[in-house]
Structure 1
């Protein structure tokens, strides 16, 4: 139990993968950091996510988001080593690559175009025709219209990544306050100087808002427009001693990820009208189950393990918000990562830490700044 007042250099509101990644990078830089989480660490979107490091499979055009994703993906092998050494916890980096399967001629044309510009950008992207694809995956149903194989798009297991980040951060001196909901910001002459919880005040030189889908609601307390909204995603886990394929298989409305612990992750819906209700429902899971079995029939014989549902933090233009808040001293944001929170966690942690320690960020933050709303 914390007392009536607590002082920290930097306070992070939100204990998902983004907040924990920032805490780790700040703690590594010697900054005193505290993470405030209203529930348990990673209990919202992080808990339900697939863990894809889909820097290529998720991106449809060469733009700042693609560049940010590629740079973040490249950080994971070294990050895994660091966290494993500090915490003894393995994020279970799985490096077999991703097959993005075309479902019709239009999809095929779009994926071939993606192969072209991604190859020009220096990334590996290999086209498989249906017969070649069947030789690799065997069990898939016909016909397909080919597939784009992305050997450098990997995956991790979300709970392990989160545990590794949190444990490593604690080892470096970070403090985590779970089951401690923020009530309001503390202000002094317009500057943010901390937050108030139900039973305490936490004073801080800087506050980082990293509360995922809830970030927009929290920002409203300040009259701040932060257009981040919940997008519900439902998925489920299957138990398997030996998953039917080592590859991640991805197509419209469905993706299948074999995990190193033997489970298979099947995801995921995208629902914008569910508000903040993150309970799984039968219709969505039944539809997803049907798609998965049509894609990979042997999944139908695997035992059902766990339904999952989470609220992704969406933004109107699909880009996250990263950096300082114009006109509000002491407040920073790191939210709106939508489907790519795990993928972008590594670069987000690094960029926010660079910004707060006086370094020039290694990526131009202008495309991801709140100020972009003024020009839209």
Structure 2
């Protein structure tokens, strides 16, 4: 028998059950709002479960600006957040803060990384340059060919899908309802204000809507009159296991190869970059290139046991900044999309920023850089 379609009412509907959607729902429901998450598949089934979970605010972002400050603010939230979510849900997000070494493989790259050390020490004096010998003392499995590296003791990582599920479970604790296998088809308007959504399970009414569907956000936004350039970038990863630990810390190469050692003994290794595709198939060529790079950087990896390979789709934007804010001419509609490689890192502060915005006391300093109409991409 076909499921009866019902009209329901909430304070806020969050479209998208990934890590940012769940973080937003958690922050809003914790403040007493009646929230629903609508997810067309299952929670954390896309980029949130495909990421390696690096919290690499200072390894990945190399210049000051709104995104860097946003990332530092979010990174600082993780120690307390990990405890808060564990106490509330019993879920351990496996927050690890053993640091990251950003390696340099040539003298030319080393000069660039040393400049980054000087710059990053403005925010964290503990960051330092390690020569080749010091790198190998810290991580003996690294290739002896590396020139050195930047040691970032306060960068770390989490298990991304676990963090996403912890946000969702904590949101449910505060009353959030989860509607999985439900697709949002369009918005419901009343005099240019969004008052709900039409879904495959019927109409749902609300006072505010937050669109947090990552690389899939552009189509629903186009229907509102804004051409928001969020596009997919596929990334392929694989993991290995070893009887004895190979690495203690995350290793990050500027040539976009990283190693993230997890608590269960797995090392996540990634990631390729293929723009403008939603096809999540894992290709032999993609994995072969990663394997070759991995063995160059950590030769001992070749003796580790193969575990698995996977791919996910990251949401990139035209200028590399996320879109976070209220729609410029559809009141009640808010966006949080386009976090690209930093979705896991930025999830705590994104949830907080959107919740503050919906409550009417936004952080305008950050929001002005991330606003939806910053490039004036109006369709009609």
TM-score band by shorter chain is: over 0.9
Describe the superposition over 1:30-66 as per-residue Cα deviations: whole angstroms up to 9, x where unpaired.
1111101111111111111010101100111111111
1:257 has 2:266 as partner: no
* Aligned 1:194-213 pairs, distance under 5 A: 194-213=196-215
* Aligned 1:10-49 pairs, distance under 5 A: 10-49=12-51
Describe the superposition over 1:140-188 as per-residue Cα deviations: whole angstroms up to 9, x where unpaired.
2231121000001110011211121111111111111111111111112
Q: Identify the residue that residue 299 of structure 2 maps to in structure 1.
A: 297
Give the direction of change, closer, same or farther, for the CA distance of 1:344–1:163 in structure 2 (3 Å limit).
same
**How many angstroms apart in 1 are the aligned matches of 2:113 and 2:99?**
16
Give the direction of change, closer, same or farther, for the CA distance of 1:198–1:62 in structure 2 (3 Å limit).
same
Q: Identify the residue that residue 325 of structure 2 maps to in structure 1.
A: 323
Q: Identify the residue that residue 347 of structure 1 maps to in structure 2.
A: 349
2:70·2:366 contact (CA, 8 Å) conserved in 1?
Answer: no
Q: Identify the residue that residue 131 of structure 2 maps to in structure 1.
A: 129
1:128·1:149 contact (CA, 8 Å) conserved in 2?
Answer: yes
**How many angstroms apart in 2 are the aligned matches of 1:266 and 1:122?**
27
Describe the superposition over 1:321-359 as per-residue Cα deviations: whole angstroms up to 9, x where unpaired.
111111111100000000000000000000001111222
Q: Identify the residue that residue 368 of structure 2 maps to in structure 1.
A: 366
Among candidates 53, 57, 60, match of residue 59 of structure 2:
57
Q: How far did residue 205 of structure 1 move?
A: 0.7
Give the direction of change, closer, same or farther, for the CA distance of 1:278–1:117 in structure 2 (3 Å limit).
same
**How many angstroms apart in 2 are the aligned matches of 1:331 and 1:239?**
45
* Aligned 1:1-376 pairs, distance under 5 A: 3-251=5-253, 252-273=255-276, 275-361=277-363, 364-374=366-376
Give the direction of change, closer, same or farther, for the CA distance of 1:30–1:15 in structure 2 (3 Å limit).
same
**How many angstroms apart in 2 are the aligned matches of 1:140 and 1:297?**
7
> What SS does structure 2 have at the residue aligned with 1:217?
helix
**How many angstroms apart in 1 are the aligned matches of 2:160 and 2:346?**
13
Superposition RMSD in Å? 1.5
> What SS does structure 2 have at the residue aligned with 1:234?
strand
> What SS does structure 2 have at the residue aligned with 1:57?
helix
> What SS does structure 2 have at the residue aligned with 1:366?
helix
1:191·1:329 contact (CA, 8 Å) conserved in 2?
Answer: yes
**How many angstroms apart in 2 are the aligned matches of 1:69 and 1:221?**
30
Q: How far did residue 305 of structure 1 move?
A: 1.5
The alignment of Structure 1 onto Structure 2 pairs a total of residues equal to 374
Ranges of 4+ aligned residues in structure 1 off by more than 6 Å = none
Describe the superposition over 1:293-320 as per-residue Cα deviations: whole angstroms up to 9, x where unpaired.
2211222122222211111000111111
Give the direction of change, closer, same or farther, for the CA distance of 1:308–1:123 in structure 2 (3 Å limit).
farther
TM-score, length basis structure 2: 0.95
